[in-house]
Structure 1
């Protein structure tokens, strides 16, 4: 793909200040869990999270021209969030809402233990349909929005606000994409009518990129709960169901989406697209070579990483790579390779999004024969198109 960027992206939605205690790998488990005791840390880091802080910044690192849009509160965390935004080098627009908190998370991930996130919802999770300035929309080619599953304003009104945001972008001829987050299990979001919300929204969404676990929870809650009871560790090798993945993709395409990309962790991602007529409605994001995109069903395998530093943000970075491929006018095979390579680069990065290389560097590694992860994909075989796999 030519790296000369012609199309611009606006990434909007959740922006979170992540506060991350850094544990000493030599500390004992007893020291970490003792109630009332003191745990001595190697340090405390802060980082940007949410779709704006992860996908938006990753797009910028890959070489895209990006504008970040969200909101911050009137608390002390707002200053730290804006300071981190300045360090990214991205253009950003983040109005301050004085009476609200800044969205923030305390991420506790001790070595050898399970990660726990303590999240404080705030200003970035309160949106009205007209909050994104029209000027920002008209000067960009793509609106990427996330995560409605973490915003009560997006499901409390049965999707009216969410669908209005995307319908407005489509009226202005933008391409649109959406990502979700896990809604929880016993939360108001988990029990909301997401099937109904998606039916309203997906006719205006060109590319929908949820994760497998999220999607099962949103569309088949009872099945998710049964899955979790049977396989508490929720390892992809145990829970991935090819027929379920394909069935959910078909249902979502039937609701009106243009492309479905279901992220499946170490297994990679499943891609299925609508027909040529639907893809011609993608506005400024419409691929140049529709024949390589329309009516396709492929598997995008993940790429091997020898040393995984952190899985945090890998899914969002996959999304960034996929969107960058579309922005650059790449084929499906080129875009899939860039998405998988971007995610792998984030997994091996010791500096989060800052360690993601430009897409030209990822393409060089792919051309040299980047090894694919050895995940058993029964019923799929290699193609002559990059890393893509097709049904046997």
Structure 2
């Protein structure tokens, strides 16, 4: 079985639809295969990534070079960059997926009806999953691994900024999958680098079963509003940390700095910190010193600016744009609030529904905060950076959903399945 995709004219509509049709055929062949076959493909993928890391890094260097020449921000360049060490880590994530329970065939519920019919609701693959994403070539592998494990074919539409990297990665993936006898077309790169190819994918209803967008607010909004294919909405990460009156302030500083500065270019990084006024006089100087040492620029309200002036640290004036933005950089919006309810009101106004955190020693305050949040994840005395499929034990995630239907939060294997009702009788008729 050849792993090379047929040559197509990337600018034509038929190229995208032909790719989707091949994926649909591959999905039908993939769905009934046993776990052993799918796991063998994942093992081959992990081995091939390590063995061919140099060629992937070479392709990635071209993308990174273009991004820097175009003045792309440091945060986006970091997301785009692949090294042999990062590829080894991605391969390790694929091996972790092999060890995860197989969702396909799981009986969600079952019973024997009064008439003797045996009823089972069984997990089955979704079919063809399309992923539209920006400047993160690691998503190419994460998405393919989770889709293969859950018996789905995957159509990958990355951004043009990562086209060389994604092309190299998909070549590795297809060769690996074909080497163990699975259909290479279970993993395909959507042809074309223009918006037209994205639109064709979004309107390939009947060929593509679901789309998952991963990227900035503009990309997600476009996919959600323009698709005729069903969409699982992933959201931007305007995440908040609230430091309560009963917080251990040293612990709060550690959580805040980790939430913001551990890796600011990812969606679970904190973008806003709110502090109860009862501890502001003590906490703000500590937080400013720690954030500044970590290279973070604070965009603060009057209290933060006054504390900054007293400490000789420049604090920019915060605006509504700062409260709303997902920085993806070493910047954070900062405010002081009169109480927990004011923090809740602020967060509910500005949040993207991703992750919020409270630092407190008061159990009642923690419960009140959690009960009033409307986000996919809420952390109590823990960094926002833990909202992650790997950290939750799901393996490599395909995205973090901020919607409320079907899937919410880090999306692992079960979220890539639907269900079929299997009804077994003994000549039962209804009439």
TM range (shorter): 0.3 to 0.5
TM-score (norm 1): 0.33
TM-score (norm 2): 0.31
* Higher share of residues assigned helix: 2
